[in-house]
Structure 1
């Protein structure tokens, strides 16, 4: 890194002064996968589906093995990522789906500052490409939360290709098959399956693809369309500091894989898994094109790139693996909350690092604010990771990880974690695990360690008293 930039970073990291020039403000790119399982990347141990481009971020940067998000499903996790605050602090507890996305009271409150707003006010050009899912009514439009550009959709999901599903193989959930049968019904490029017991959600109902504020007719496979827009954004804004939030809807349902990608996985016998593999491979190719554009623009040493998932993978729905973790999307076990998390900043962060201490998506806000030269208030729940990653400090500040969603709840403190999945809010049934000895959460130690259980229950209740009731 150039000497003047290192000195600027040092003073900014040390004193949190707003003193960086435009040349010293790094670009920030967040690549957010949707419903990706903890064990699905090559760098996370998957040998079945090659992900070389995503894996390169780990090879050339940092892989965090204990990275958490703020909720086990899409919307509140994104609320935590973009605000740097535990979403239940401002009542953002649940995951709106379907028509609920357009309710006038359902969305990210206007009073919550997003990282896009903060970076915009530091002179950054900000862009969101992909999935928003933080309110579909006009009050919650990305333009009203700090984004200068938007290409994507507002609700929780979207078809990658609309009917008649040309160029893809599509697998849809159904309550029943022709003749009232159960199982799978296979045709040339369409598969019906009753394995989940309900129909595919109406993802595209009143949920058009939007450029800015206007619907557009998109003909490309959606991952490819998002890639095209992201490459264009980087190319057009390479002369100024920018923040790009590329929120993929891959590998979220509906399951739709491009034919050419599916043909690369003929060794996978299960068509369900084969479509998933094609979708993940398509996203990996997209990441490769993003990285190529950053390099072509001469921005490698000026750009922090972060890749993570919004929550654990829904294994039964998608086949996504969270191994070696227990649980899946929607669960307060590790498989719902711990996600792949990679970070690359060429020339600044040393390559081939593995960080085994717990971090959170909440930390992204504080870290990015400091990098942009913005003051960090005491309102946030995250930490600035840079002093630790730059070896200026040997340890991260201690923190706890709090979760609440209806009757489900959890708290991690040190190596200990309590989980409430079986009881009710009024009569919780807490389980206790020691994650260093039992990563898969197979041995409930609640009866063996009643004092530790009480300690963590008490702390969860203390933190819970700081939270607000659910807004919707």
Structure 2
């Protein structure tokens, strides 16, 4: 049965259900920032950057105080939250780069055997759109239109120039691609993505939809509009000034998406999620992850602890804060179950937990593996394993910035967590691709850098 026939069928079913007092399938809007520093929103304590729209999104819904992604870099993190399965469990350990010697280039992408949120929602009658960054494979079989999405406007690589694209360009200068229109000339890419997201909502407001609003802001290249730079001219550091302007423009377009949903009369039937794909890479885009230590590429809190917000008018109480640890792996099962499906995924449907904080924690523990590193969080404790030193253990409630290694003072906890992490690790499959070996010492060196853990005024 084609998607058009499915849409007609489900529209009939939903109409019948609505007339009988039953709720219709909700829409889903997943807004993803790229390389956003945890501390670079008003809601997370920034004194420098004004983000009224994202802050309002949090005030209108729930802010997950301990929200995590499943990887410290872009591609594996996206593979995790788009599937609801920890990506290392299907071999997506590394960031996507050029194929390495000894590896089959046919596997240079998120394995096609792994269904996505879009695949599941397609089977439930949804129209699925992706605006922006993909970064999960460039071959046809990895293309978003072959992974459950019906509409795609954007680019396949991990980043793009904000002001231009060339017809024969490569890398960040590659042309934008779309299956439903001739892509317009770029004005400022963050605004252009906002335009496409608003247009998607307007065109599909009469049917259940999933919109993946995949921004690349504030990922490099560091490029901002002159008007936005003027707003932050008081910040002396040029890179930081450009970064703050880029985050400001991201916030403006988050506001445009929320406004489009409201104007379409869809607020009470649309779950909106805002998240970053990983922590900010402090040295390359001048982001700040305060109060957390570390950066993108590390399993310190600054690499994996991200702003995580959900809004659903009438279904989630405003001004809510949820304190137990949750994961981006929870997004897929949340969407699928709310849409009327059921899949055996690693994550959980978060809505019952949000609406009943007295329930037990959603996860007994969370685990990470990324190239040279691995980590586990269980309750108040977090252990990180690296190749050139003893494991480190942090008590997070008393040491948010991970400044005090207490592994030797708590050997029973250290040994217990090492055992759980090791048992998981040795049962993982081999990675299906690797990025260049040059990245391994670079990632290791990030653990020895000093990071800003207090907000600058």
User: TM class, shorter-chain normalised?
Assistant: 0.7 to 0.9
In structure 1, what is the equivalent of residue 230 of structure 2? 263
Contact 1:209 1:215 in 2 (8 A): no
Deviation at 1:422, TM superposition (A): 5.0
Residue deviations 1:373-410, cap 9 Å, x none? 00122xx2101111111228623333321111222111
Could you tell me which of 385, 394, 398 is aligned with 2:350? 385
Between 89-98 and 282-291, the greater mean CA deviation after superposition? 89-98
In structure 1, what is the equivalent of residue 325 of structure 2? 358
Q: Compared with structure 1, are the counterparts of its residues 238 and 250 closer, same or farther at alpha carbon in structure 2 (3 Å cutoff)?
A: same
Whole-angstrom distance in 1 between the partners of 2:165 and 2:271: 38
Deviation at 1:218, TM superposition (A): 2.4
Could you tell me which of 353, 376, 391 is aligned with 1:430? 391
In structure 2, what is the equivalent of residue 49 of structure 1? 49
Between 213-222 and 453-462, the greater mean CA deviation after superposition? 213-222
Residue deviations 1:67-116, cap 9 Å, x none? 1111100000000000000111000000013678x943211111101001
CA RMSD of aligned residues (A): 2.0
Q: List aligned pairs for 1:14-413, cutoff 5 A.
A: 24-97=24-97, 103-162=105-164, 203-204=171-172, 207-212=174-179, 216=183, 218-377=185-344, 380-391=345-356, 394-413=359-378
In structure 2, what is the equivalent of residue 442 of structure 1? 403
Residue deviations 1:92-141, cap 9 Å, x none? 000013678x9432111111010011011100110000100000111100
Q: Which runs of 5+ in 2 are unaligned?
A: 1-15, 434-457
Counting helix residues as a fraction of each chain, which structure ranks higher?
2
Secondary structure at 2:224 match in 1:
strand
Report how many aligned residue pairs link the two structures.
Answer: 409
Contact 1:136 1:155 in 2 (8 A): yes
When the two structures are superposed, what TM-score results if normalisation uses the length of structure 2? 0.86
Whole-angstrom distance in 2 between the partners of 1:398 and 1:74: 23
Whole-angstrom distance in 2 between the partners of 1:429 and 1:208: 47
Contact 1:311 1:329 in 2 (8 A): yes
Contact 2:324 2:362 in 1 (8 A): no
In structure 1, what is the equivalent of residue 8 of structure 2? none
Whole-angstrom distance in 1 between the partners of 2:183 and 2:31: 23
1:467 aligns to 2:428 (yes or no): yes
Q: Compared with structure 1, are the counterparts of its residues 98 and 230 closer, same or farther at alpha carbon in structure 2 (3 Å cutoff)?
A: farther
Residue deviations 1:159-212, cap 9 Å, x none? 001389xxxxxxxxxxxxxxxxxxxxxxxxxxxxxxxxxxxxx7326x431112
Residue deviations 1:292-345, cap 9 Å, x none? 110110001010000000000001111100001010000110100100001100
Whole-angstrom distance in 1 between the partners of 2:377 and 2:400: 13
Q: Which runs of 5+ in 1 are unaligned?
A: 1-18, 165-201
Whole-angstrom distance in 2 between the partners of 1:393 and 1:119: 30
Moved >6 Å (runs of 4+): 19-22
Whole-angstrom distance in 1 between the partners of 2:64 and 2:390: 31
Whole-angstrom distance in 1 between the partners of 2:127 and 2:326: 27
Secondary structure at 1:272 match in 2:
helix
Contact 1:20 1:372 in 2 (8 A): no
Whole-angstrom distance in 2 between the partners of 1:152 and 1:20: 36
Contact 1:103 1:137 in 2 (8 A): no
Whole-angstrom distance in 2 between the partners of 1:107 and 1:214: 26
Whole-angstrom distance in 2 between the partners of 1:20 and 1:368: 19
Whole-angstrom distance in 2 between the partners of 1:408 and 1:137: 29
In structure 2, what is the equivalent of residue 193 of structure 1? none
When the two structures are superposed, what TM-score results if normalisation uses the length of structure 1? 0.83
Whole-angstrom distance in 2 between the partners of 1:455 and 1:256: 46
Secondary structure at 2:119 match in 1:
helix
Residue deviations 1:228-284, cap 9 Å, x none? 110000000000110000010000000000011111111111121111111111111
